[in-house]
Structure 1
Amino acid sequence: MPEKEAYVIGVDIGGTHISSAIVSVHEKRIIEESYATSHVANMESLTSIMQTWANTLNKTLTIAKEIELQGIAFAIPGPFDYKAGMAKYPKGFKYGALYQIKIEEALRPFLSHKNSLPMRFLNDATSFAVGEAWLSKSEENKKQLCITLGTGLGAGFIDDGIPVVTGSTVPPNGCLWNIPYKEGMADDYFSTRGFIKAYHKATGKTVKGVKELVDSYDTDNNIKEIFDTFGKELGDFLAPWLERFQADTLVLGGNISKAYFCFGKALQEYLNANNLSLHIHISHHMEKGAIMGCTRLFNNHFWEKTKNNLPTI
């Protein structure tokens, strides 16, 4: 007998946005008419944030009226207790109003339909990595390190579709952002603010983001040097973890990955020089990869393999 079709709502929570959609699990696709997204004022009150999240989710739930759903899966950034579904964002920072709040209990009263659906939670970078592995067309890509380069550095170590967050081959919780690097930690260098700082140090000028640098790449040697250094240093930072994990694929996502043509050659040359031969793949799924990835929480095999290893901070 063919498997019964399964549907899960995937939700991507970002620093300033929420997006949700119904995912057809067996077809590995988002039902596009169910996709909804909204801006979130992350410094507002708990009630305000929950209302914004619910308004978006309710649009997706309305499309799902005639669909039997398994649950709602969240790709959500840390610090977060993923087992308990509890936010740990410090008060006074983004989403600080959610500190020590169990999201399921706070959000459910604002949902208009199917409000008995179970909710499960996965780190956003991990969700992206799981989505990339799940959607990969190559059966050879079994061990992947997926990173997101944007406002911060996200990472997910994936072995045959399952995130690895413990053991000697990965850093604690599978996170790279807080690993010491040079005069700080990785997040200080492999992020938007890392580029802004490097450009200011080189020129004394200030830019708002990486796109400004990309736009002037062809005409500014300072920018070329900054991207070249970024590629080499990213290779330098990742190399020990790629080797330790024995990764066969490196996947790059996040907005900075769109500038791969500016730093990719330097990255590849560094890895080659250090005898690391692996595929480098630039994600085309981005945010929707995270929406897809988190829905794996309702796959029985995936859930049994991950439920006891979900990070609690």
Structure 2
Amino acid sequence: MKNKISIGVDVGGSHISCAAYNLNNRSIIADSISEISLNNQGSKEEIVSAFGGLLRSCIAKINADELVGIGIAMPGPFDYVNGIALLTGENAKFQNLYKENLRLAIQKNLAWEDLPIRFINDATAFAIGEYFSGELKEAKHSLAITLGTGLGSAFLSEGIPVITEDTVPKNGCIWHLPFESGIADDYFSTRGLINRFFDRTGIKTSGVKEIASLSKENKEAKELFMDFGEKLAVFLSPWITKFNVEAIVFGGNISKASYLFDHAMNEKFSEYHFKLKVKYSTLQETAAFVGGAQLLDEEFWLLVKSQLQHM
């Protein structure tokens, strides 16, 4: 059987990375992993050129005749059906791509105009990758959460995103839901932890990693993460119940400090008597590669593509 290879791309704030993926045996081709720095304030020509350079580097590491397409995990707002960027200055990144048809631009840059290029929300790609290759395998109803610059989420039913049903919040997103005096994204994010640590101590920090390192000796830092875990459980619990979540996986930079909030979170979960598997991603951005690349599996694509308009 001829190999069918796709490429999964993960778009970050300061870099883009990708990997080739064997659709026949659902595995990442390890030596194909590629990464390039990206100025998200650059011109559209500069950004498209970066995509092209990255993809050419990856394609050079495989048999190009076996390539069936590219799947890109892209932050929103984005028209995932038509491949058109809708990010504006409000998002403080990629605003120069506004209204740009990224699919056509990449195809033109690669001089490969019939190459299938498909897009999906980055948090959803992470969830799909965890379902096929990570911690959500075999889970009927699962939830993936990314904890980092923002709060990302995706609800899956046997690996397919659930977006419009009344068992999940609007668009399957939780970042915008009310929490305490603001919204969840303000609390369960890097900026939320930085701001609350400053409010408690008057100490300015550069990020979660620094606060985590201080927790060994700083009581306020330790309590900050315990509060984070407990309140995260409280916030998620109604949706875990409503969607009947069996397994949950956390990814993103904050999840790397799980040893500081996992106990408090699970203690609170136990009060709700959930039968819930709680896991932390070992794949991290590799999950997004898998989730993007899996869009080129035609059987899977038929099940997913109708959901794109709601992302």
Asked if these proteins are the same fold (TM beyond 0.5), I'd say yes
Q: Is the 8 A contact 1:145 1:156 kept in 2?
A: yes
Shift of 1:137: 7.0
- How does 1:183-202 map onto structure 2 within 5 Å? 183-202=181-200
Shift of 1:139: 5.7
Q: Which residue of 1 aligns with 2:33?
A: 35
Shift of 1:230: 0.2
Distance 2:135 2:267 in 1: 26
Indicate which of 229, 243, 257 corresponds to 2:255: 257
Distance 1:277 1:256 in 2: 24
- Describe the superposition over 1:159-181 as per-residue Cα deviations: whole angstroms up to 9, x where unpaired: 11111111101112111111121
Shift of 1:301: 2.5
Distance 1:193 1:218 in 2: 21
- Are positions 1:289 and 2:279 aligned together? no
Indicate which of 143, 146, 151 corresponds to 2:144: 146
Unaligned stretches of 5+ residues in structure 1: none
Q: SS at the partner of 1:23?
A: strand
- Describe the superposition over 1:127-152 as per-residue Cα deviations: whole angstroms up to 9, x where unpaired: 00000011147765221100011111
Q: Is the 8 A contact 1:91 1:99 kept in 2?
A: no
Structure 2 counterpart of 1:60, which letter?
A: C
Q: Is the 8 A contact 1:145 1:155 kept in 2?
A: yes
Distance 1:49 1:299 in 2: 27
Q: Is the 8 A contact 1:271 1:277 kept in 2?
A: no
CA RMSD, Structure 1 to Structure 2 (Å): 1.6
Q: Which residue of 1 aligns with 2:307?
A: 309
- Normalising by structure 2, we get a TM-score of 0.95
Q: Which residue of 2 aligns with 1:176?
A: 174
Q: SS at the partner of 1:288?
A: helix
- Describe the superposition over 1:282-311 as per-residue Cα deviations: whole angstroms up to 9, x where unpaired: 110000100001122122222111211213
**Structure 1 residues 125, 91: CA separation in 2 closer, same or farther (over 3 Å shift)?**
same
Distance 1:188 1:194 in 2: 5
Shift of 1:67: 4.1
- How does 1:102-251 map onto structure 2 within 5 Å? 102-111=101-110, 114-136=112-134, 140-251=138-249
Q: Which residue of 2 aligns with 1:45?
A: 43
Indicate which of 298, 301, 309 corresponds to 1:300: 298
Q: Which residue of 1 aligns with 2:268?
A: 270
Q: Which residue of 2 aligns with 1:24?
A: 22
Unaligned stretches of 5+ residues in structure 2: none
Q: Which moved more, 1:299-308 or 1:143-152?
A: 299-308
Count of aligned positions: 310
Q: SS at the partner of 1:127?
A: helix
Q: Which moved more, 1:31-40 or 1:264-273?
A: 31-40
Shift of 1:212: 0.6
Q: Is the 8 A contact 1:12 1:76 kept in 2?
A: yes
Q: Is the 8 A contact 1:145 1:158 kept in 2?
A: yes
% identical equivalent positions: 39
Q: Which moved more, 1:136-145 or 1:5-14?
A: 136-145
Shift of 1:26: 2.5
